[in-house]
Structure 1
Amino acid sequence: MLTSTLPTHVDIAIVGGGPVGALLALRLAQAGHQALVLEARRDTSADPRALALSYASREALTRVGLWDETALAATAIAKVHVSQAGSLGRAELDAAELELPALGYVVGYDRLAALALERLAASSARIALGSPVTAIRRLARFAELAIGGEDRPRTLTCRLVVLADGGKLVGTLGDVVQTVKPYRQHAVLATVTPVKPHQHIAYERFADDGPLALLPRGDDFTLVWTQTPEQAEARLALSDREFLDEVGARFAGRVAGFSAVGARASFPLALKTLDRVVGRRLALIGNAAQTLHPVAGQGLNLGLRDAATLADVLGAVPPAQVGEDATLTRYARLRRKDAGVVTAFTDSLIGIFDSPNPLLKHARSLALLGLDQAAPLRRGFAQRMVYGAR
């Protein structure tokens, strides 16, 4: 429910009302915990990003009413085609092999963010809009949050504070250290219309000048093209026809071609990780815990698993123990393997496919062929993409 008057104390304060924070808040409400979401925004804004949500993420969102295929205009991914430009190597992951209706779904970030705010406002979970958290002070028995906004600054205490966004607050935590690895790359985003129907196939294409992903969305594809900053600027300056020719050349032999392109945008990429995801009276989930390269489409899926795991842990203890070290240590232990494996895998893909060395290119081609031919290996890889490392 929306709240305009902030309480002076809650058991759990969640900073960030995006999909990850909303999932946690709604799960905690189901478990009977007293939680409050503090969201700096008052509403959502247009966002060009498309999300590739795994089937497991859809199930997690459905559990709390955060899945509505009509409102989200969700497009199913039946297959994922992975290939390398200039070689025969390719692999195809198929939902039918896992006996699932889809490997995942493509939705717009802005649609999911809007649905998250709508569901929070209509639920028993409490959310305060226009309430940016400007500082956090943590003591042995409680945390104190400084909250800005349109009126006078306010303070709120809680047994546990959960950071669910990737804002500046992470840099103010003395017992948690963030490491930033700049990729010196930008993601170029655009909507492209294929000449032939996409048949619910997503494509991951590793070209010599950067990986490209095509995500089926409605009748179109959302293109995510990783480029150097200079290349990204040049791609944005191309005419529509020149841009489509460039994209078509990199998907030659895989996609028949493209007939139209929408507005283009780009944003810088970096890997952000933490030395630990818990601190005194503190837990970090989603983008606050890790920000990944979009190459494998795992960032939000990983964040939603953070939220679901933390909800399980907190739901198993009484309110007085939600911020205790033993509770937070259990959450950190349960997330260590999944977060570590997925982060390392995503980061390694950039290094593995970044070199144009002919010998490495040949080895990559053989690896893709081997993955495609070995059914148990292929199914295991697909399961990791859907469910994470368990």
Structure 2
Amino acid sequence: MLINTLPQHIDIVIVGGGPVGALLAQRLVSSGHDALLVEAKHSVGKDPRALAIAYASSQTLAANDLWDESLGATPITQVHVSQAGTLGRTELNAAELDLPMLGSVVKYEKLAQYAFDQLSNSAARLALGAKVTQIQRLARFAQLTLETDLGEQKISCRLVILADGGHLLAQFKDIQQTVKSYEQHAVLATLTPKHPHQGIAFERFADDGPLALLPTGTDYTLVWTQTPEQAAARLTLPDADFIAEVEQRFSDRVSGFTAVSGRASWPLALKTVNSIVGQRVVLIGNAAQTLHPVAGQGLNLGLRDAATLADVLAATPARELGEASSLARYAKLRARDAGLVTAVTDSLISLFDSPSLPLKHARSLGLLAMDQCGWLRRGFAERMVYGAR
């Protein structure tokens, strides 16, 4: 439910009203915990991103009333992975996993707005336009200072959960964030294909950066990793020239495009922390880790954070919320999945960024080996759908 007056005390405060925070809020209410989600914005702003949501993630969202057909998600039934200039390629298929789809592509703006709408009409408490400016943590509780339409307000709680991207981490002495710049920008665009995409997504490793094509409605969303200088140049190209450059890198893998729109770019970096838990605080989603978009795993990893934390807290009595033993259990449960996905994503960038000819041929052989080994191909696809279990 949408509230205008903040309580003076509550057991759990979730900071950040995106899909990750919304999932956790829904789950906590269903387990009987007293929780409040606070979001600095009053509404979802414009956001051009399209996200690949793994099938398992969409099922989790649907089970908590955060996903339905009104989102207009586009199914991905096949992912074609290849390297430009070599024979290396492989295909991941939903049928091999006995699934109706590997995942879906949805506009972030639509998913975030749907989460706002659902929380506003559910038992979960939601406060919009409430920006957390300070978190003071003591032995038995934490106190949050918030800027609201009614002025500065304070809330005390047993546990603070950050799902906001980590903007408040600088206030904590027991958690340090490391930022690794990739010296790259992601160029985003909408491309209209000459022929229907048939639910096929593409990941193409070109010599000047990887490109992904995500089926979005009847179009494709392009995510193209470039140097900052290349990204700036590509944003100003005439439409025909931009399309020609994309077609050149995909060679004959796709049939071509008739139009391009919505070009934008943003810088890419890997953000990690030395611990996802601290005194009276837990980090989930982008607060815990921000990944390169190359494998499309960022939001999926965050949703698994939220689901696992919800399970841990469901088994935690209210008086023990925020205690070190409970938080340590959550950190242990998330270590393998988060660590592996982060390492694989980061390694892909390093592996495919080298221009070395021997390494290029080795990458090609790796893709061909995966294509020929069904168990290897299925294992990789399962990790993309379910994470490291």
Q: How does 1:250-289 map to 2 (within 5 A)?
A: 250-289=249-288
Inter-partner Cα distance in structure 2 for 1:381 and 1:250: 25
Confirm or deny that 1:20 pairs with 2:20. Answer: yes
For each residue in 1:178-204, what CA deviation from the matched residue of structure 2 results, as whole angstroms up to 9, or x when unmatched? 000000100000000111111100000
Q: TM-score scaled by structure 1?
A: 0.99
TM-superposed deviation, 1:173: 1.2
> Any idea what the Cα deviations from partners look like across 1:340-367, whole Å, max 9, x if unmatched?
0000000000000001111111000000
User: Deviation digits for residues 273-309 of structure 1, max 9, x if unmatched?
Assistant: 0000000110000000000000000000000000000
Gaps of 5+ in 2: none
* Separation (CA, whole Å) in 2 of partners of 1:168 and 1:58: 27
> Between Structure 1 and Structure 2, how many residues are aligned?
389
Q: Alpha carbon RMSD of aligned pairs, Å? A: 0.6
Distance 2:369 2:350 in 1: 20
Which residue of 2 is the match for residue 376 of structure 1? 375
Distance in structure 2 (CA, Å) of the matches to 1:171 and 1:232:
30
| Contiguous gaps of at least 5 residues in structure 1 | none
Query: What is the distance in 1 between the residues matched to 2:380 and 2:110?
Result: 29
Equivalent in the alignment of 1:182: 181
Paired AA for residue 111 in structure 1: K
In 2, distance between residues paired with 1:83 and 1:172? 43
Task: Give me the TM-score of the superposition, normalised by structure 2.
Answer: 0.99
Give 1:39's aligned residue. Answer: 39
In structure 1, the residue corresponding to 2:116 is in which secondary structure? helix
Deviation, 1:36, is 0.1
Code of the aligned partner of 1:287: N
1:210-256 Cα offsets, whole Å, 9 max, x none, are: 00000000110000000000000000010000000000000112001
Matched residue SS, 1:309: helix
Distance 1:326 1:63 in 2: 29
Q: State the 1:165 CA deviation.
A: 1.1
Residue number in structure 1 paired with 2:331? 332
Offset of 1:167 from its aligned partner?
A: 4.1
What SS is found at the alignment partner of 2:10?
A: strand
The 2-side partners of 1:8 and 1:35 are apart by 13
Give 1:6's aligned residue.
6
Deviates more, 1:373-382 or 1:164-173: 164-173
- How far apart, in 1, do the equivalents of 2:279 and 2:235 lie? 45
Q: Aligned partners of 1:97, 1:45: CA distance in 2, in Å?
A: 38
2:4 counterpart SS class = coil
Match in the other structure for 1:215: 214
Deviation at 1:151, TM superposition (A): 2.6
SS at match of 1:65: coil
